[in-house]
Amino acid sequence: MFITFEGIEGTGKTTQIKLIKAFLEGAGHTVDVTLEPGGSRIGKELRKILLNMDSTDLTGESELFLYLADRAQHVSQTIRPAIEAGKVIISDRFADSTIVYQGYGRGLDPKLLRELNDVAVSGCWPDLTILLDIDPEMGLKRAMTRNLQENKMQEEGRFEAESLEFHNRVREGYLTWAALNHERFFVVDAAQTPDEIFEQIKAKTVEVLKNR
């Protein structure tokens, strides 16, 4: 089973991934957690380029192809082997991030991005995608606080430094894309408490597992 988490910065994806991993392990599953960009050896190198504040000369098209390269590598080295081994694999971001950030956020055509993603994922689309939805002002405040606390602003802060307008487009893009793909998406209001959010994610995950 393949589960992905999506949402703008600061929605609490990391916390929820830890909670659902512990729950699924308690129910007897073997669970691997991974992330994009950076879910493979080569992907870790790509992540440095993609998220560093110094990458100001990275063009929109290059950025797109680096994310797709990261994904192709991630699927072949990490995700597909885990699925084939009968594990549950959970990814913090996946193909939908490209459609939403590079598409709805930066203005590339979402339909074309879906097709390019088809090449990168080669059939490996998630069984369930959980979208944590939050007002960008609230999310960005949380993400900036975390980056400053962990001293990661320079290394990881390129997207947090984008305008609020960009993040508003991304948030709306996520909601539009989730509605277009409702058979796979589950949208949760991330302004709720972590416990409230988790209860909903747990119920949905159990339901999807049961119906497989």
Which residues sit at the interface with ligand TMP, rule CB under 6 A? 9, 36-37, 51, 67, 93, 97-98, 101-102, 159
Please, what is the minimum distance in Å from the beta carbon of residue 14 to ligand TMP? 9
Of the pair 67, 174, the CB lying nearest ligand TMP is at 67
Cα–chain center distance at 51: 14
Of the pair 55, 200, the CB lying nearest ligand TMP is at 55
Please, what is the minimum distance in Å from the beta carbon of residue 162 to ligand TMP? 8
Please, what is the minimum distance in Å from the beta carbon of residue 134 to ligand TMP? 13
Please, what is the minimum distance in Å from the beta carbon of residue 117 to ligand TMP? 9
Cα–chain center distance at 78: 15
Of the pair 24, 51, the CB lying nearest ligand TMP is at 51
Of the pair 4, 205, the CB lying nearest ligand TMP is at 4
